[in-house]
């Protein structure tokens, strides 16, 4: 029986090999193996024989190991592996050898044993009069391919290099793939691409494409195959999103048309400032969509300080005007409390207080629900939500618990989306009969094609301008290695701010004093594509990152700061301690607040003008950008110092330079993408090989993604349930799997 995608791999390559593939690569079926694409291709053509190796140049050669030895270094700790290689068999010329030296090359010592054939790349050097390569990179090759006959057959063909493991080298994978390809039946692979689209982009069919990607005749072949799979991946993803969007848009929701002479109009009249053009435009879009009887599903992006809250509040008031309720979810208690306070303040006379009863007809009651409230408070607020008395309910995750009921939930606003997962979103939606309108807000600018891929089922709005009167933040990198004296200068500078009546944030990567990393509490940033994934990896393992506990103590003893009150804030503090640290800082009682990234999102102390970020190299670009948005909010110019103890020229310092050089969040987001491995974008919070994009790269493949999106929308418009695209539908099921489904649900 011919094989197809679902054929168990061990049936095709034997039980022992099959088990190895399953255990080490997670590959269990023929389809899994076919989808295990080469990571790159080596050109056979351009190889240099050993005797022609040029000195001081980068070379690539195929050679066979003649002998290998290992010894300890005399003067230092560690070992040296010396490998002697000779021209591969089949080369006409007589013996010529080259020596390779690996320092601490444990893997090389294990893999490069006598007889092994490999491709080596490195720079040719001279040591004691003999040519050698030091720490060359290498790829093991299949010895069988290098007998004269095989060599002739394969001459000129690119060599596929697979993601491999120590005991399954690339060429073993190539052989297994060859076996699978040889046993596939003629129509055994479903063709997910509709014929017209394949034609439109001149893409090879599925059978050809698998052959071309695994056993290419030339470079053109694998390139063309990659083009196909890239487009296929984009189309599958975009069709899934388009279908979800269409399904969601078809649900009934509670229409809340704007009411003349209502709360919203009264609110607009009393606003102490003019809305920016962007705020007005987005406002109009929201007003229109809230009036419809299908749910709004919108992502609002806007720089820190661009005024998203007012936009959201106006939408909430439109719903309240109509007798409905709106819920605002914030990622932390600090933020929820702050939103609650600032919404109440902004409402002014339009605020109705449940305790005192209505002070007039025109007004809205605002309730706050957080996990740490006293039983009595909780009960009162729960009642306000359940009875419908509260038109606006602000809260954290506590809002999602089963006990919270709403009388008539019409709108859900989620602030800083990346901190909420799908379950929470669904839980909130489940709290009303009709699907509530959804507004997701984020200050992390998202490049267009990322938004399209990650949040493809949301419509997007952007607030590009900041309200007038904002001064730009001056950002500087402070390298302590080259300028140790600057450390003192930083604290003098902080002193000057405090003396001028301003306030200072000092941000540290860790909590310290046994607190460990911010971890699961506030810095859930690993779950964001713009977050701290970078911080987790030890950039300089010998440097202990600055901690809140130690820095706070150090600053208390710092002569330049004598008499300045210093507060500390981090996620391990209990709610009351957090709130009081925040309160003291907001009230100006503490001049300096030493904190972790808890202050990253939304916290608003207009009087803060200086931010000192210690070991700034531990943070990602997007996060640094968000952090510095906390200063200079009150009309006084803001300054941000990115302090680092890394050597000048250290790669991680490039990120700091990027942040110092630009204040454009979108430009930085793009940079951020370029710096990080793309695979992290979609699957940052998951692990496992199926959670990330396969060939598609959101940065590089913007055009493919845009094309696919257009095509997908057309497909779904014409065939909403994909009845006439069953193989595409099956590809979606297959591609998404349980893990990828999660990221589709984010947002
Ligand atoms: P973010 O988008 O970061 O959530 P906020 O909504 O917190 O920004 O707004 C930041 C500050 O700017 C708030 O104090 C808010 O009152 C103020 N603000 C918002 N819109 C305007 C505007 N059009 N003109 C002046 N100030 C504004
Ligand atoms: Mg905000």
CA–CA dist 284, 77 (Å, integer)? 68
Q: Indicate if ligand 1 lies below 6 Å from the C-beta of 614.
A: no
Average pLDDT estimate for 12-37: 94
**φ, ψ for residue 265, nearest 5 deg:** -65, -45
Average pLDDT estimate for 296-315: 90
Q: Indicate if ligand 1 lies below 6 Å from the C-beta of 663.
A: no
Percent with pLDDT over 90 in the chain: 45
Indicate which ligand has the atom closest to the C-alpha of 306. Answer: 1
Q: Which residue has the higher pLDDT, 443 or 346?
A: 346
Indicate which ligand has the atom closest to the C-alpha of 343. Answer: 1
Q: Indicate if ligand 1 lies below 6 Å from the C-beta of 304.
A: yes
Q: How far does residue 306's CA lie from ligand 1's centre (Å)?
A: 6
Indicate which ligand has the atom closest to the C-alpha of 309. Answer: 1
Residue 602: is its pLDDT beyond 70? no
Q: Which residue has the higher pLDDT, 635 or 345?
A: 345
Q: Which residue minimizes the CA distance to atom 23 of ligand 1?
A: 275
Q: Indicate if ligand 1 lies below 6 Å from the C-beta of 445.
A: no
- What radius of gyration do the chain's Cα atoms show? 30
- Which atom of ligand 1 approaches the CA of 302 most closely? 2
Q: How far does residue 262's CA lie from ligand 2's centre (Å)?
A: 25
Average pLDDT estimate for 144-162: 73
Q: What is the pLDDT of residue 538?
A: 40
Q: Indicate if ligand 1 lies below 6 Å from the C-beta of 302.
A: yes
Bridge partners (DSSP) listed for residue 571: none
Report pLDDT digits (tens) over 405-460: 999 999 999 887 554 555 666 676 677 778 889 998 987 767 777 777 766 777 88
Average pLDDT estimate for 587-615: 86
Q: Indicate if ligand 1 lies below 6 Å from the C-beta of 338.
A: no
pTM score, two decimals?
0.67
Residue 76: is its pLDDT beyond 70? yes
Q: Indicate if ligand 1 lies below 6 Å from the C-beta of 626.
A: no
C-alpha torsion sign, points 599, 600, 605, 607: positive
Q: How far does residue 603's CA lie from ligand 2's centre (Å)?
A: 8
**φ, ψ for residue 190, nearest 5 deg:** -65, 140
Q: How far does residue 307's CA lie from ligand 2's centre (Å)?
A: 7
**φ, ψ for residue 665, nearest 5 deg:** -60, -35
Looking at the chain, the domain(s) classified CATH 2.40.50.140 span 44-155
C-alpha torsion sign, points 194, 196, 201, 206: positive
Of 310, 339, 461, 586, best ligand 1 pocket probe by most atoms within 8 Å of the beta carbon: 310
Q: Indicate if ligand 1 lies below 6 Å from the C-beta of 306.
A: yes
Report pLDDT digits (tens) over 693-726: 677 777 778 889 889 999 999 999 999 999 999 9
Q: Indicate if ligand 1 lies below 6 Å from the C-beta of 308.
A: yes
For residue 403, give every residue at least 6 positions away whose Cβ sits within 8 Å of its Cβ, in sequence order, or none.
382
CB 296 within 8 A of CB 286: yes
Q: What is the pLDDT of residue 424?
A: 62
Q: How far does residue 475's CA lie from ligand 2's centre (Å)?
A: 22
CB 602 within 8 A of CB 586: no
Residue 230: is its pLDDT beyond 90? yes
Q: What is the pLDDT of residue 537?
A: 37
Q: Which CATH superfamily is domain 263-290+307-442 in?
A: P-loop containing nucleotide triphosphate hydrolases (3.40.50.300)
Q: Which residue has the higher pLDDT, 699 or 323?
A: 323
Residue 473: is its pLDDT beyond 60? yes
Q: What is the pLDDT of residue 536?
A: 34
* Contacts of the segment 133-140: beta carbons below 8 A, 24+ positions apart: 133/59, 133/98, 133/99, 133/100, 133/101, 134/100, 134/101, 134/102, 134/103, 135/101, 135/102, 135/103, 135/105, 136/100, 138/108, 138/112, 139/42, 139/170, 140/111, 140/116, 140/169, 140/170, 140/171
Q: How far does residue 216's CA lie from ligand 2's centre (Å)?
A: 52
Q: What is the pLDDT of residue 649?
A: 85
The DSSP symbol for 388 reads S
Q: Indicate if ligand 1 lies below 6 Å from the C-beta of 410.
A: no
Residue 686: is its pLDDT beyond 70? no
* pLDDT interval class at 688 (50, 70, 90): very low
Q: Indicate if ligand 1 lies below 6 Å from the C-beta of 444.
A: no
Q: Indicate if ligand 1 lies below 6 Å from the C-beta of 307.
A: yes
- Which atom of ligand 1 approaches the CA of 463 most closely? 2
**φ, ψ for residue 376, nearest 5 deg:** -65, -45
Q: Which residue has the higher pLDDT, 680 or 192?
A: 192
CA–CA dist 193, 199 (Å, integer)? 10
Residue 369: is its pLDDT beyond 50? yes
CA–CA dist 296, 458 (Å, integer)? 9
Q: How far does residue 310's CA lie from ligand 1's centre (Å)?
A: 7
Q: What is the pLDDT of residue 520?
A: 29
* pLDDT interval class at 630 (50, 70, 90): confident
Report pLDDT digits (tens) over 164-223: 776 787 888 998 999 999 999 888 999 999 999 999 999 999 999 999 999 999 999 999
Residue 528: is its pLDDT beyond 70? no
Q: Which residue has the higher pLDDT, 185 or 75?
A: 185
Q: How far does residue 240's CA lie from ligand 1's centre (Å)?
A: 36
Q: Which residue minimizes the CA distance to atom 24 of ligand 1?
A: 467
Q: What is the pLDDT of residue 454?
A: 66
Q: How far does residue 354's CA lie from ligand 1's centre (Å)?
A: 27
- Which atom of ligand 1 approaches the CA of 415 most closely? 4
Q: Indicate if ligand 1 lies below 6 Å from the C-beta of 296.
A: no
Q: How far does residue 117's CA lie from ligand 1's centre (Å)?
A: 64
Average pLDDT estimate for 487-513: 93
Q: Indicate if ligand 1 lies below 6 Å from the C-beta of 280.
A: no
Of 307, 338, 340, 631, best ligand 1 pocket probe by most atoms within 8 Å of the beta carbon: 307
Q: What is the pLDDT of residue 691?
A: 37
* Contacts of the segment 726-732: beta carbons below 8 A, 24+ positions apart: 727/190, 727/191, 727/192, 728/192, 728/193, 728/194, 728/235, 728/236, 728/239, 730/190, 730/192, 731/190, 731/192, 731/232, 731/236, 732/236, 732/239, 732/240, 732/243
Average pLDDT estimate for 237-248: 87
Q: How far does residue 460's CA lie from ligand 2's centre (Å)?
A: 17
Indicate which ligand has the atom closest to the C-alpha of 604. Answer: 1
CB 637 within 8 A of CB 474: yes
Average pLDDT estimate for 467-472: 73
Name the helix (H) or strand (E) containing 285: helix 277-290
Looking at the chain, the domain(s) classified CATH 3.40.50.300 span 263-290+307-442, 473-662
Average pLDDT estimate for 131-145: 81
State the CB neighbour count (10 A cutoff) for residue 594: 29
Indicate which ligand has the atom closest to the C-alpha of 629. Answer: 1
Q: What is the pLDDT of residue 189?
A: 92
Give the range among 218-232, 457-471, 513-527 with minimum mean pLDDT: 513-527
Q: Which residue has the higher pLDDT, 717 or 600?
A: 717
* pLDDT interval class at 103 (50, 70, 90): confident
Q: How far does residue 10's CA lie from ligand 2's centre (Å)?
A: 54
Q: Indicate if ligand 1 lies below 6 Å from the C-beta of 432.
A: no
Q: Indicate if ligand 1 lies below 6 Å from the C-beta of 665.
A: no
Q: What is the pLDDT of residue 361?
A: 62
Q: What is the pLDDT of residue 432?
A: 74
Q: Indicate if ligand 1 lies below 6 Å from the C-beta of 339.
A: no
Q: How far does residue 602's CA lie from ligand 2's centre (Å)?
A: 4
Indicate which ligand has the atom closest to the C-alpha of 468. Answer: 1
Q: Indicate if ligand 1 lies below 6 Å from the C-beta of 310.
A: yes
Mean pLDDT of the chain: 83
Q: How far does residue 302's CA lie from ligand 2's centre (Å)?
A: 9
CB 123 within 8 A of CB 58: yes
CATH 2.40.50.140 assigned to domain 44-155? The reply is yes
Q: Which CATH superfamily is domain 473-662 in?
A: P-loop containing nucleotide triphosphate hydrolases (3.40.50.300)
């Amino acid at each position: 029986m011919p094989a197809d995608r679902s054929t168990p791999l061990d049936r095709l390559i034997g039980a022992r090999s099959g088990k190895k593939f399953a255990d080490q690569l997670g590959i269990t079926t023929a389809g899994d193996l076919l989808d295990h694409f080469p990571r790159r291709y080596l050109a056979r053509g351009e190889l240099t024989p050993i005797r022609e190796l040029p000195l001081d140049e980068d070379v690539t050669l195929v050679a066979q190991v003649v002998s290998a030895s290992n010894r300890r270094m005399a003067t230092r700790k560690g070992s040296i592996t010396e490998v002697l290689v000779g021209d591969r068999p089949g080369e006409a010329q007589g013996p010529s050898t080259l020596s390779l030296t690996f320092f601490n090359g444990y893997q090389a010592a294990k893999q490069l044993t006598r007889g092994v054939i490999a491709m080596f790349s490195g720079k040719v050097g001279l040591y004691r009069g003999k040519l050698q390569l030091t720490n060359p990179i290498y790829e093991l090759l299949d010895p069988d391919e290098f007998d004269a006959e095989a060599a002739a057959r394969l001459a000129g063909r690119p060599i596929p290099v697979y993601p491999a493991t120590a005991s399954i080298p690339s060429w073993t994978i190539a052989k297994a793939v060859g076996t699978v390809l040889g046993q596939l039946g003629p129509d055994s692979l479903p063709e997910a691409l509709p014929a017209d689209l394949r034609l439109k982009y001149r893409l090879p069919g599925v059978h050809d494409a698998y052959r071309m990607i695994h056993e290419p005749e030339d470079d053109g072949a694998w390139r063309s195959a990659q083009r196909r799979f890239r487009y296929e991946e984009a189309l599958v993803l975009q069709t899934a999103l388009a279908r979800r969007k269409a399904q969601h848009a078809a649900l009934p929701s509670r229409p809340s048309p704007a009411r003349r002479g209502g709360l919203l109009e009264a609110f607009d009249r009393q606003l102490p400032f003019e809305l920016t053009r962007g705020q007005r435009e987005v406002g109009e879009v929201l007003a229109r969509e809230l009036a419809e009887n299908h749910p709004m599903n919108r992502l609002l992006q806007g720089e820190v300080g661009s005024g998203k809250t007012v936009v959201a509040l106006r939408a909430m008031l439109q719903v309240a005007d109509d007798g409905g309720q709106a819920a605002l979810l914030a990622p932390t208690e600090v933020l929820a409390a702050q939103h609650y306070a600032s919404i109440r303040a902004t409402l002014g006379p339009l605020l109705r207080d449940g305790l005192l009863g209505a002070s007039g007809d025109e007004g809205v009651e605002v309730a706050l629900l957080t996990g740490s409230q006293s039983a009595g408070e909780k009960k009162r607020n729960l009642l306000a939500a359940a009875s419908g008395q509260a038109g606006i309910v602000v809260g954290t995750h506590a809002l999602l618990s089963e006990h919270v009921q709403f009388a008539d939930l019409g709108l859900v606003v989620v602030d800083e989306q990346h901190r909420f997962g799908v379950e929470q979103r669904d839980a909130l939606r489940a709290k009303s009969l009709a699907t509530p309108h959804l507004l997701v807000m984020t200050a992390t600018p998202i490049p267009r094609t990322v938004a399209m891929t990650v949040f493809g089922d949301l419509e997007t709005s952007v607030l590009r301008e900041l309200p007038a009167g904002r001064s730009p933040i001056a950002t500087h990198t402070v390298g302590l290695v080259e300028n140790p004296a600057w450390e003192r200068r930083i604290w003098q500078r902080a002193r000057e701010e405090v003396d001028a009546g301003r306030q200072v944030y000092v941000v540290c990567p860790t909590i310290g004093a046994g607190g460990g990393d911010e971890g699961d509490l506030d810095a859930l940033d690993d779950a964001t594509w713009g977050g701290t994934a970078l911080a987790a990896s030890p950039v300089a393992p010998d440097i202990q990152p600055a901690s809140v506990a130690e820095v706070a103590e150090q600053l208390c003893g710092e002569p330049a700061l004598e008499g300045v009150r210093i507060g500390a804030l981090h996620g391990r503090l209990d709610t009351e301690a957090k709130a009081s640290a925040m309160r003291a800082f907001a009230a100006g009682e503490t001049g300096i607040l030493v904190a972790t990234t808890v202050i990253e999102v939304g916290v608003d102390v207009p009087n803060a003008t200086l931010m000192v970020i210690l070991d700034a190299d531990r943070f990602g670009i997007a996060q640094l950008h968000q952090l510095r948005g906390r200063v200079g909010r009150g009309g006084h110019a803001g300054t941000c110092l990115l302090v680092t103890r890394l050597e000048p020229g250290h790669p991680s310092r490039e990120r700091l330079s990027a942040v110092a050089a630009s204040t454009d969040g979108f430009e930085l987001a793009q940079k951020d993408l370029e710096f990080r491995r793309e695979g992290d974008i979609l699957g940052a919070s998951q692990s496992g090989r199926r959670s990330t994009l396969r060939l598609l790269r959101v940065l590089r493949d913007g055009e493919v993604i845009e094309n696919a999106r257009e095509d997908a929308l057309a497909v779904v418009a014409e065939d909403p349930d994909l009845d006439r695209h069953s193989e595409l539908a099956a590809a979606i099921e297959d591609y998404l799997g349980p893990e990828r489904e999660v990221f589709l649900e984010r947002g």
